[in-house]
Amino acid sequence: MSDIRRIIQKIREGKLKKLASELLWMYVYVRRYWLMIAIYVLLGASGSVLGLGTSMVSRNLVDAITGVRSDKILEVAALYVGVGVSQIFINAVKMRLSLRVRLKVVNEIRADIYEQVLRTDWESLAKYRSGDLLYRVNGDANMVANNILNFLPNAVSACISFGGAFVVVMQNDPAMAVLALAGAPVSFLSSRYTTKKLRRFQADNQNLSSDRTVFDQETFQNLQFIKAFGMLDRVTEKFHRLQNESVDIALRQNKFQSSMSIFNSLIGQAIGYACYGFAAYRLWQGEISYGTMTMFVSMAGSLRGSFSGLINLIPTAVRAGISAERIMEIVNLPRESDAYSREAEQIREKAGEYGVCVRMENVDFAYEEEQWVYRGAQIAANPGEIVALIGPSGQGKTTTLNLLLGLYHPQQGKVLVGTPGGQPLEVCASTRRLFSYIPQGNTLFTGTIAENMRMVKPDASDEEIRSALRAACAWEFVEALEHGMDTEVRESGRRFSEGQKQRLSIARALLADAPVMILDEATSALDVATERRVLRQIIRKEPHRTVIVAAHRPSVFSMCSRVYKIQGGAVREVNEEEIQEFLNQF
């Protein structure tokens, strides 16, 4: 009754439900690669069968040598050698296949999880640190994949070894079988305690590994800042602190596992001595031959070893379960939908002739409940217009741009895009093809200038890239580079000035040739003359293009059709006088 009550309590606590969900999640991958994994399992099982065969052939060989079956000595010796050689070849094939299966399954599981993370709703995903996501996609995915491959073959092999040895020993001497398994209840009970402890250790390890990945990533990304402020000693101190925490967890886990290993080994050793003594006693009584005694001792060891092997699979399952839980936390987040891709593509096809309107209608948005960015926001931007957003930092300009891109979702109201007079479409992942976006920071990737440009249009010709660079006032400095468009950008565009990076980012957005362009402080590093020239050329290149700019520069506002001020939880259109009042505050 106590066991039943314990199970009911676990169900109430949700532990069994969590374990079942983890196993079902991993089963999806086992099912997907069942043929390859089955072959891998069969090879492992064949090794176990041959191992059992070796013990039985050894008995016959010892009996033949000691004279019990001397007429069979050549036959038995040949069989003994054949079994041994077969094991060598099977192990070689198993190692080769193991590598192929492991590489394929690990890479495909990682790729699947990577794609799921990329397609996760941005607003939900933004709560996680990028370094933590990186570790979950790499470290946790590898842990799951490797343990799937280790657990199943090892479990099947251990079951075959255990079952085969038990049947052989039971057929020859049931008392020996019972004696060999005398330590099983102790091992089973200790495994339950071990599992709970290991789960806590593994969770701590995985969380700390994520923290270390985050720290390492942020350190190298911000190394210039760290050096500029003389923070090297403090950063190094934190690095050592994280290392020491990792070592502390590892040592505590090792201490616990060593203690349990000593305990289980002592039990196993005592059982082994008992089995050996019992077999020796039977031999002394003349009830068995030397070969049978050898087989008994070998099979008893196999029984104990295979049972311990099954118990020792628990840490493998724990590691896989913890990693699966961490991955499931991410992949179970809301997924972005591309359900309106056809409708969005139809709008894009008509945009060249008519342009695209963008509207926010009575939008309420808050990051957290009751912490409103604004309520009832109304914004309109039409083809051929430049519309600006102004307001103090942190009041919602970038948030508004993210709402237009469908990265965030309003609590109330709608954000709509569509051709003039046509049926509008509510913004979502599908409507992003209508936008070119230049964020703060002007994101550039490792590779050449041309490769960065072709990220938005893979089939772009060199002439199309040159045209976009000219329109963004970037061709002058690109042409002067030693390798021109094939010049390496380096990480985060470090070889270029801020103004050059902004112009490259604008050129890339122009190459995408989307009907709506969003610039988030994207001309802040340009001089006034260059800024005005770039904005004019953006409109000149595509007269129907809708441009939305978040900015502080008065040179931008003079070119705008409308300016909206975002401040104090409200959005409203402002006139030139109000714009000047806002600018005078800075």
What pLDDT score was predicted for residue 103? 77
Domain boundary among 309, 331, 353: 331
> Is the same domain home to 122 and 183?
yes
In this predicted model, which residue has the larger pLDDT, 44 or 263? 263
Residues 195-204 pLDDT 10s = 777 778 878 8
Residue the block writes with tokens 């886990």: 253
Average pLDDT of span 45-74: 61
The CATH number of whichever domain residue 128 belongs to comes to 1.20.1560.10
In a domain, 326, yes or no: yes
DSSP state of 140: I
Residue the block writes with tokens 């894009």: 348
DSSP state of 336: P
Local confidence band at 188 (pLDDT 50, 70, 90 cut-offs): low
Q: 3-state SS of 16-47?
A: HHHHHHHHHHHHHHHHHCHHHHHHHHHHHHHH
Neighbours of 95 (CB within 10 A): 10
The CATH number of whichever domain residue 472 belongs to comes to 3.40.50.300
> Is the same domain home to 559 and 432?
yes
In this predicted model, which residue has the larger pLDDT, 571 or 166? 571
> Is the same domain home to 376 and 236?
no
In this predicted model, which residue has the larger pLDDT, 122 or 159? 122
> Is the same domain home to 296 and 408?
no
Helices and strands in the chain: count of H runs, count of E runs: 21, 10
In a domain, 478, yes or no: yes
- Classify 285 as helix, strand or coil: coil
CA–CA distances in Å: residue 570 to residues 265, 374, 409, 501, 574: 71, 5, 17, 33, 12
Q: How far apart are CA 76 and CA 59, in angstroms?
A: 10
Range of the domain at 192: 2-331
pLDDT at 12 over 50: no
What pLDDT score was predicted for residue 364? 93
In a domain, 336, yes or no: no
In a domain, 488, yes or no: yes
Listed ranges 9-13, 103-107, 419-423; the one with the highest mean pLDDT = 419-423
Local confidence band at 60 (pLDDT 50, 70, 90 cut-offs): low
Local confidence band at 49 (pLDDT 50, 70, 90 cut-offs): low
> Is the same domain home to 217 and 122?
yes
Which range, of 123-127, 265-269, 301-305, 515-519, averages the lowest pLDDT?
301-305
In a domain, 19, yes or no: yes
| Burial of residue 216, with CB atoms counted within 10 A of its CB: 0-12 exposed, 13-18 middle, 19 or more buried | middle
| Burial of residue 225, with CB atoms counted within 10 A of its CB: 0-12 exposed, 13-18 middle, 19 or more buried | exposed
Q: How far apart are CA 35 and CA 180, in angstroms?
A: 36
What pLDDT score was predicted for residue 535? 79
pTM for the model: 0.71
The torsion region of residue 550 among left (phi > 0), alpha (psi -120 to 50) and beta comes to beta
pLDDT at 61 over 60: no
> Is the same domain home to 373 and 449?
yes
pLDDT at 579 over 90: no
Angle subtended at Cα 146 by Cα 143 and Cα 149, rounded to the nearest 5 degrees: 145
As a whole number, the mean pLDDT across the chain is 78
In this predicted model, which residue has the larger pLDDT, 73 or 428? 428
Contact status, residue 503 vs residue 436, Cβ threshold 8 Å: no
Average pLDDT of span 509-513: 88
End-to-end CA distance of the chain: 75
Contact status, residue 387 vs residue 556, Cβ threshold 8 Å: no
* Percentage of residues in the chain having pLDDT higher than 90: 11
Residue the block writes with tokens 């109201």: 413
> Is the same domain home to 198 and 315?
yes
Structurally, the chain folds into a number of domains equal to 2
Q: How far apart are CA 542 and CA 544, in angstroms?
A: 6
> Is the same domain home to 465 and 385?
yes
Q: How far is CA 322 from the centre of its chain?
A: 14
> Is the same domain home to 151 and 64?
yes
In this predicted model, which residue has the larger pLDDT, 91 or 48? 91
> Is the same domain home to 378 and 323?
no
DSSP state of 526: S
What pLDDT score was predicted for residue 299? 64
Listed ranges 72-76, 108-112, 506-510; the one with the highest mean pLDDT = 506-510
Q: How far apart are CA 489 and CA 466, in angstroms?
A: 16
- Classify 550 as helix, strand or coil: strand
- Classify 72 as helix, strand or coil: helix
Local confidence band at 206 (pLDDT 50, 70, 90 cut-offs): confident
Residues 321-360 pLDDT 10s = 888 888 888 888 888 888 888 998 999 988 888 889 999 9
- Classify 63 as helix, strand or coil: helix
What pLDDT score was predicted for residue 7? 42
- Encoding tokens for residue 203? 């969770």
What pLDDT score was predicted for residue 295? 67
What pLDDT score was predicted for residue 463? 93
> Is the same domain home to 304 and 385?
no
| Burial of residue 400, with CB atoms counted within 10 A of its CB: 0-12 exposed, 13-18 middle, 19 or more buried | buried
Domain boundary among 286, 312, 331: 331
In a domain, 381, yes or no: yes
Q: How far is CA 228 from the centre of its chain?
A: 33
Residues constituting the chain: 586
In this predicted model, which residue has the larger pLDDT, 550 or 149? 550
pLDDT at 218 over 50: yes
pLDDT at 16 over 70: no
Q: Tell me the pairing of strands 357-368 and 371-381.
A: antiparallel
> What DSSP string describes 337-405?
--TTHHHHHHHHHHHHHH--EEEEEEEEEEEETTEEEEEEEEEEE-TT-EEEEE-STTSSHHHHHHHHT
Domain boundary among 307, 331, 355: 331
In a domain, 558, yes or no: yes
Average pLDDT of span 6-31: 61
| Burial of residue 357, with CB atoms counted within 10 A of its CB: 0-12 exposed, 13-18 middle, 19 or more buried | buried
pLDDT at 10 over 50: no
> Is the same domain home to 351 and 308?
no
pLDDT at 80 over 90: no
Q: How far apart are CA 547 and CA 539, in angstroms?
A: 8
Average pLDDT of span 428-440: 88
Segment holding 60, helix H or strand E: helix 34-65
pLDDT at 362 over 90: yes
What pLDDT score was predicted for residue 3? 46
Q: How far apart are CA 409 and CA 73, in angstroms?
A: 81
Q: How far apart are CA 96 and CA 90, in angstroms?
A: 10
pLDDT at 148 over 50: yes
In a domain, 245, yes or no: yes
